[in-house]
Structure 1
Amino acid sequence: MTLAAVTLAEVAECVEALWPLSGAESWDAVGLLSGDLAAPVARIHLAVDAVLDTVDEAIAAHADLLLVHHPLLLRGVTTVAETGYKGAVIARLIRAGCALLAAHTNADVVARGTSAVLAERIGLRDTRPLVPTAFDSTIGIGRVGDLAEPTTLGRLAGGLAELLPATAQGVRVAGEYDRPISRVALCAGAGDAYLALADVMAADVYITSDLRHHPASEASENGRVGGGPALIDISHWASEWLWLDVAAAQLRHALPGVEITVSELRTDPWTFSIV
């Protein structure tokens, strides 16, 4: 394969076209974290997380850019000393001449964003966002739609377990196994902030990640009294990993000649579970 290098500035322009920074939440820290805009980019490596293993993988692949979903410096730091993992990550990348760029909530809200990809993979039809953006009601956070064929909660959860990469968490469910499911609301990544939305409450099931005990318990108990969805809790990393292949295809189309690779390393923080 003959690689045709472009500049990091040109890649940044491509990323802006695909996942505009204007779509990011105000608290987010997306965009270019490190790298020289004039530097050539012939290889781009995609991962959900900028952790030591994905950084080493990108460097071993001779990538010029590591493009991740989760921003490394989302929360403030006061040091990038290599005694901490964030400093070690940045130092390794800089020494290797590999830039770092994040597309986070700006990649959640677009038409082929994280939740849209998850909805497509489970076969939802006539989808719309749970939380539309202020500038376009057709895009936004989460998705709600209908299955082509009704199923049961147990079969849907089993299908998710087959669709998603395996994690120690697996797929956790709150609800009756045989509960009929037609309408599905979902949010790739952490979504307990949307449990009370009307579209979530009207769905048969809500699929998301990082559901904590109290919000999940309250939602389940309220459902017994006044109605509400069953809950399916999936790995945060796994729910967003599906998006990487779509993002890679979009980058290959926009940057012909640049090699685009996708990490298959599991960066879910949990390594095993005991039941």
Structure 2
Amino acid sequence: MSTVADAIRVLEAAYPPALAESWDAVGLVCGDRADALTKVLVCVDPTSSTVEEAVAAGAQLIVAHHPLLLKGVHGVPADTPKGSLVHQLIRNGIALYCAHTNADAADPGVSDALAEAIGLEVTAPLNPNADGRTGIGRIGELPEAEPFALFVDRVAQALPFTEGGVRAAGDPNRRIKRVAVSGGAGDSYLATATAAGVDAYVTADLRHHPAGEHLAVPGAPALVDVAHWASEWPWCGQAAGILRAALGGTVTVDVSTLRTDPWTAQSAGAPTRTGRFTG
């Protein structure tokens, strides 16, 4: 019989906690390491919907990418959103384990899963650690160069649907071969992507000013901005595969297909072209 501790050993071998950023909060959030384990749910976000999914499935462990308690707290009363989740987890005998920036930096990690989904062959980290193997982001290559417009469609088809969709900035005819990716919010690596000499950079949560300033740099890569949740969801399959390989036969590992991207709708109306707003 496998235990929660067995799953944690597998996860920490794949995503060493030492790779986490100093500000991060990774590891076991709640639960008993000695508890028997027969079912695991892997997700991006530990939310009420994914906890309810785990309860309905009879899982004893949730493996989430995003931390539940990233900032310091002085209590988890049940009448607060995060406290309510902690109580729900404990009442149902479900442990929560979070692998965040350690999973981002690991080899393979979050950005490897994103690169694989897009169809890239990874060649190096985007922002390598001293070992040259681990680090944030990845650089990879397409089998053949293709126009940027086609590449943007490739990204949109590779990732799960979100209301925000996929945004792009760049010449639609630019040939794309060498690509940088960074799962999650990646505008802090815009200059790194430019220095790497890639043709395009795929990440999430790009903001107006950093993106505009980036594009003003001669030779800067074209940008593809996707939903934060969508950019990291491929990692769930990677983590699930690692757990199945190590604990297969005793533990069932499911990947949550619930969309926990917070944006639920966008306007269906066409923008007006009247008055001052004529751009």
| Normalised TM-score (structure 1) | 0.93
2:180 aligns to what SS in structure 1? strand
1:40 aligns to what SS in structure 2? coil
Displacement of 1:126 after TM fit?
4.9
Q: Distance in 2 between matches of 1:198 and 1:158?
A: 21
- Any idea what the Cα deviations from partners look like across 1:119-161, whole Å, max 9, x if unmatched? 1222223510011123x21121101122110011110110111
- 1:1-275 to structure 2, matched below 5 A, reads 5-134=1-130, 136-197=131-192, 202-222=197-217, 226-256=218-248, 257-274=250-267
> Cα distance 1:65–1:167, how it changes in 2: closer, same or farther (>3 A)?
same
- Any idea what the Cα deviations from partners look like across 1:92-119, whole Å, max 9, x if unmatched? 0000000000011111122221101111
> Cα distance 1:126–1:236, how it changes in 2: closer, same or farther (>3 A)?
closer
Aligned residues: 267
1:127 aligns to what SS in structure 2? strand
Q: Distance in 2 between matches of 1:267 and 1:77?
A: 23
Q: Distance in 2 between matches of 1:14 and 1:180?
A: 41
1:37 aligns to what SS in structure 2? coil
- Any idea what the Cα deviations from partners look like across 1:181-215, whole Å, max 9, x if unmatched? 11111101111111111655511111100001110
* Range with greater deviation from structure 2 (71-80 or 86-95): 71-80
Report if aligned partners of 1:150, 1:180 keep a CA contact under 8 Å in 2. Answer: yes
Q: Distance in 2 between matches of 1:209 and 1:78?
A: 31
Report if aligned partners of 1:46, 1:260 keep a CA contact under 8 Å in 2. Answer: yes
Report if aligned partners of 2:16, 2:102 keep a CA contact under 8 Å in 1. Answer: yes
> Cα distance 1:250–1:7, how it changes in 2: closer, same or farther (>3 A)?
same
Q: CA RMSD in A?
A: 1.4
> Cα distance 1:111–1:199, how it changes in 2: closer, same or farther (>3 A)?
farther
Q: Distance in 2 between matches of 1:63 and 1:126?
A: 34
Report if aligned partners of 1:153, 1:180 keep a CA contact under 8 Å in 2. Answer: yes
Unaligned runs of 5+ in 1: none
Unaligned runs of 5+ in 2: 269-279
Displacement of 1:268 after TM fit?
0.4
1:128 aligns to what SS in structure 2? strand
